[in-house]
Amino acid sequence: MSLVTALEKLDRRWIFLTIGLLVLLPLLFPLALPLYVSPPVRSFVEAVDSIPDGSRVLMSCDYDPGSIPEMVPMTRTALRHLLDKKCKIVITVLWNGGPGLVDRIVRQVVEHEYPDRQYGVDYVNLGYKAGDEAVMVLMGQGIVNAFPRDYHGNDTRTMPIMQGVRDYTSFPMLVNISGGYPGTKEWVQQVQARFHLPMVAGVTAVSAPEYYPYLQSHQILGLLGGMAGAAEYEKARGEKGSATRGMDAQSLAHYFVAVCILLGNVVQWSKRRRPAP
């Protein structure tokens, strides 16, 4: 059987096995390939750096466990970035599947690395609210009207961090980490366009290309795209988190997919050139 015929008849499970190994092995034996910080990520870092120290910042983590590898590293690094600037953080979640995950990430970062920060004083997780864009617009009239209780069931009106918080004018910036709908696009349309709140966004790679127009129009001031964006953010901040550790595997997998595309087409062209039996 010729190579072309063998490839034509290839059981897809061999492809599954190959990509599985190409992802697994670099995680066990890292290649430590050099990372380069791209301009959208640099803009993200500069925008967050421009927030005055000690400000109260709104952070919306709109994702669920389906996008953990891309979103969680961005969330961790953004939290550290803001906490290093002594910012107070008000966190919301607009995805059904997200609140438990976001709370775990926030507690892991704050309780282990910033034990001097107090819940309700320096940071608060307002939790989840159904409604997508309606929640975003509702928050524009009053944050506590939309979130009368936080993630743990506490009354938000009595919390020190929420004293003086009225609407979006109480925040200098929105840091949005979003896995899809509702997410960055809706925040741009309903909040940035309507209430003119400056924002930066970290998004999944699958949706990143559609946010380049918003970046170019300065509707978002910085963009992290996928695990690569998260890894570049970690590098810019001098960290080596799970995104950085995953980039070697990402590299090999991408090259493998490229080979698959080329090989598949070589097989097709060979089939077309073969004389009919």
Partner 1 sequence: MTLHPAPLTTPEGIGIWVGAFLTFCVLSFLYKDNPFYKLAEHLFVGVSAGYYIILNFWTVIYPNLYEPLRKAFAGHGVTERTGMFAAELGDYRGWLLFPAVLGLLLFTRLFGRIGWLSRWSLAVIIGVYVGIQTTGFAQGDLVAQVQASLQPLWTGKLGSSLNAIIFTLGLVTSLLFFFFSREHKGALGVASRIGVFFLMIGFGAGYGYTVMSRVSLLIGRFQFLLEDWLGIVR
Partner 2 sequence: MKRELPLFITAVVGLLMILSFFVPHQAVSVPSDFLQQCALILRAFGYVLGGVNVLLVNFDGIYKRQPGWVYKIVLVTTLIATVVVGAVEGPGFLNPHTRSKWIYDNIYSNMQATMFALLAFFIASAAFRAFRIRTTEAGLLAVAALIVMLGRVPLSNALTNWLPEWARLQSLQEWIMVFPQNAAKRAILMGAALGVMATGLRVILGLERAYLGGED
Q: Is 268 in the site for partner 2 (CB under 8 A)?
A: yes
How many beta carbons lie within 10 A of that of residue 140, not counting itself?
A: 19
Q: Binding mask 183-212 vs partner 2 (x if CB under 8 A, - otherwise)?
A: -----------x--------------xx-x
Among 148, 160, 262, 265, contact with partner 1 (rule: CB under 8 A): 148
Q: Is 234 in the site for partner 1 (CB under 8 A)?
A: no
The answer to whether residues 41 and 233 touch, using CB atoms and an 8 Å cutoff, is yes
Among 4, 245, 263, 270, contact with partner 2 (rule: CB under 8 A): 263
The answer to whether residues 51 and 269 touch, using CB atoms and an 8 Å cutoff, is no
Which stretch in 47-55, 81-89, 169-177, 199-207 sits in contact with partner 1 by CB under 8 A? 199-207
Q: In angstroms, what is the minimal distance from the CB of 6 to partner 1?
A: 21
- Enumerate the H helices of 50-195 as residue ranges: 68-84, 99-113, 133-139, 143-146, 184-187, 193-195
d(CA 233, CA 265): 36
**Residue 204 touches which of partner 2, partner 1, none (Cβ within 5-8 Å per kind):** partner 1
Among 74, 82, 94, 144, contact with partner 1 (rule: CB under 8 A): 144
**What are the residues whose beta carbons fall under 8 Å from the beta carbon of 25, sequence distance 6 or more?**
249, 252
- Enumerate the H helices of 114-225 as residue ranges: 133-139, 143-146, 184-187, 193-195, 212-216
Q: Is 257 in the site for partner 1 (CB under 8 A)?
A: yes
The answer to whether residues 37 and 244 touch, using CB atoms and an 8 Å cutoff, is no
Q: 39: part of which helix (H) or strand (E)?
A: helix 39-49
Q: Is 270 in the site for partner 2 (CB under 8 A)?
A: no
Q: In angstroms, what is the minimal distance from the CB of 268 to partner 1?
A: 18
Q: In angstroms, what is the minimal distance from the CB of 85 to partner 2?
A: 27
The answer to whether residues 95 and 63 touch, using CB atoms and an 8 Å cutoff, is yes
Looking at beta carbons only, is 72 or 82 nearer to partner 1?
A: 72
Closest CA to 178 of 149, 207, 150: 207
Q: Is 241 in the site for partner 1 (CB under 8 A)?
A: no
Among 30, 38, 195, 198, contact with partner 2 (rule: CB under 8 A): 38
Closest CA to 70 of 178, 174, 150: 178
Q: Which residues make up the interface to partner 2 (CB under 8 A)?
A: 10, 12, 15-16, 18-20, 23, 31, 33-36, 38-39, 64-68, 96-97, 99-101, 103-104, 107, 129-132, 134-135, 137-138, 141, 145-146, 149, 151-153, 194, 209-210, 212-213, 216, 228, 247-248, 250-258, 260-261, 263-265, 268
